[in-house]
Chain A
């Protein structure tokens, strides 16, 4: 298949691996921020082909995993209302809330629809004027433009029955938070290509300088990831800490101005709670005040229940890259994709799910 096969080419992969093996002279720890890259790495077994001196740690780049419990509970409460159609990407349905997940709400009669685009949710609102349609806007900067477009479209059509529940999170503040942590051991980053396709990579330059870490904007196919790793290793070996762009076929320095413009019109940067991690300042998107009527957080006053969390789950350490999924004593036993204890076991981008699905025997 064109534009796919050449990035999974056996010979190119082997050449890159040889180069990485030759150029790695010391132990290095590199984090891939994005859950999509984590899955590609584990699915293609790239981690098993790298030099033993290179440690890949998996970052918090799975929006499903870091959506705070309070928001999941709010989604569950809203979705249970009789006059609501709740639209969401499929992954969110199985994330455990305090008491229930959205799938159980659906089985109990809630009208929950899996959509593949926020504009489908706008269409649902148009077709069902007697219902209130709520879209669960989850994601990093990548999905923000489409969600902004959905709000703008609803405004153009004067749809009074469409709102979004925004759970948007931003990558650069998360990198800053990780690197500020005393427990940090990450020495270089693969930045998420799709996020940078929207936002560009200028905001990573001060991070690389401040924390003296190389950051390489990287794509998602095996060849992309290995190239990104090689560029990071070369910087580390030579003591450089720059922002480089492996994914230049997609990513421009300034990103996509039209997409950024749509985001800026609809969203503003706010403090955001990351599930279990706590609040990271200026790390999320909320709707601007002038779009308040499209903000489900404001339009639905729902009480949520706070619960204690089981102590066994180590998702916090996993998301921070301090521990690997298989180091959790619940991994594959009490915690499986069918009966997840934590969100990283649920999402198709969650690192626990990736380990469970593709490499149980390698890792125990």
Chain B
């Protein structure tokens, strides 16, 4: 061995692939590549005050009214998954984006891009499920569009929904409003939607009772705003999970955050699936969760309001906003150490919503 000494000094790397010439699936993952795409390619083209809020929806003033306006596309695969389907997800998702602006959702539009060959029965189930979701959320689907593309050019059906809601007087939700000393709350156990989707993916099927948490959150938010109209930030941690959402807010507000591993609710079965798959629940998508950042004195009343609502019975204060290390989220682990919780890089699994 001695005369065949391997040369560790020679180790170096190939030419960097600093920019991708094509769009990768990871550009849609909700993590850093998505942000790069938006900030470097899209935002500069359209720069305006509405867009630059970089919130779940735009907040616009028309006459005396303040409106929230949001749009979202849904490409989840498979179309039907434990706990929901693409139709229900598309309605709840946009309703939630409006709710995260503090708005009362009123009207939705919907566009369906359907692949030739989709069983009509499937389409009917999806449309029916959209109707049920809209009815239960109390929103009206008032306009829409339908297109069909060649077989192989879509994947069953893609759904886009847009929504409009009214922001009540006195409510001013903005990610930049997070202040040192604020409390960080969440309404219940995380990572259910992502794991439910993974459990039915090809090549990954495992037996589980985990269901997606897809649900409309505006009722819960209304209850929270009733006790504390001055809530600073609301955000639903969808793609990229709680970790990416907190990083976004920390970056926008220029604050640090500390969360506590032992206080973050995660169901046992979800934890088990995450261990098995090598995922960190902090990065797994949610579709029925809201992160609220509130002044310290509002933490107790908001927590009580959340717990009084059926969608918040397991609500918890999971951390606090700090002045140290602006833009950085850290976690106190269960064993007493501290580590950085970074934004999701690339994707854990594509096409989750």
Contact = CB atoms under 8 A, between A and B. Distances in A.
B7 A307 contact: no
Contact of B17 (A104, A274, A320): A104
Contact of B335 (A44, A120, A322): A44
Range for the number of chain A residues in contact with chain B? 35 or more
Interface in A5-21: 8-10, 13-14
Interface string A34-67: 0000000011111011000000000000000000
Contacts of A311: 12
A360 to B, nearest CB: 6
B346 interface: yes
A307 B6 contact: no
Contacts of A114: 203
Interface string A128-155: 0000000000000000000000000000
Interface stretch (B96-104, B106-114, B172-180, B337-345): B337-345
Given A42-B339, A94-B346, A180-B2, A313 B8 contact: no
Given A103-B26, A116-B203, A338-B32, A316 B9 contact: yes
Contacts of A43: 339
A166 B47 CA distance: 50
A277 B5 CA distance: 10
A191 B6 CA distance: 21
Nearest to A94: B346
B14 A98 contact: yes
B339 A44 contact: yes
A115 interface: yes
B32 A48 contact: no
Nearest to B274: A1
Interface in B223-245: none
Contacts of B328: 360-361
B11 A316 contact: yes
Contact of A107 (B2, B8, B15, B24): B24
Interface in B47-106: none
Interface string B200-238: 000110000000000000000000000000000000000
Nearest to B338: A45
Given A115-B203, A337-B345, A348-B278, A281 B335 contact: no
B335 A13 contact: yes
A310 B336 contact: no
B22 interface: yes
A288 B25 CA distance: 37
Interface string B291-315: 0000000000000000000000000
A279 B4 CA distance: 9
B7 to A, nearest CB: 5
A317 B15 contact: no
Contacts of B26: 103
A360 B340 contact: yes
Q: What is the interface of chain B mostly: helix, strand, loop, or mixed?
A: loop
Contacts of B338: 45, 48
A339 interface: yes
Given A116-B203, A359-B339, A361-B328, A342 B13 contact: yes
A276 B12 contact: yes
Contacts of B12: 276, 309-311, 313-316, 342
Contact of A358 (B6, B325, B340, B345): B340
A183 interface: yes
A180 B3 CA distance: 10
B15 A10 contact: no
A319 interface: yes
A116 B199 CA distance: 13
B122 interface: no
A107 B20 contact: yes
B285 interface: no
A1 B272 contact: yes
Nearest to B4: A281
B146 interface: no
A116 B2 CA distance: 39
Contacts of B16: 96, 310, 334-335, 339-341
Interface in A67-107: 69, 72, 94, 96-101, 103-104, 106-107
A320 B340 CA distance: 25
Interface in B1-49: 1-2, 4-26, 32-33, 36
Given A13-B336, A106-B25, A314-B11, 19 more contacts: A1-B271, A4-B275, A8-B334, A44-B339, A45-B338, A103-B24, A177-B6, A180-B1, A183-B8, A276-B12, A310-B13, A313-B13, A315-B12, A316-B11, A340-B16, A357-B340, A360-B328, A361-B328, A362-B340
Interface of A: 1, 4, 8-10, 13-14, 42-46, 48-49, 69, 72, 94, 96-101, 103-104, 106-108, 113-117, 120, 176-177, 180-181, 183, 222, 274-281, 307-311, 313-317, 319-320, 322, 334-343, 348, 356-362
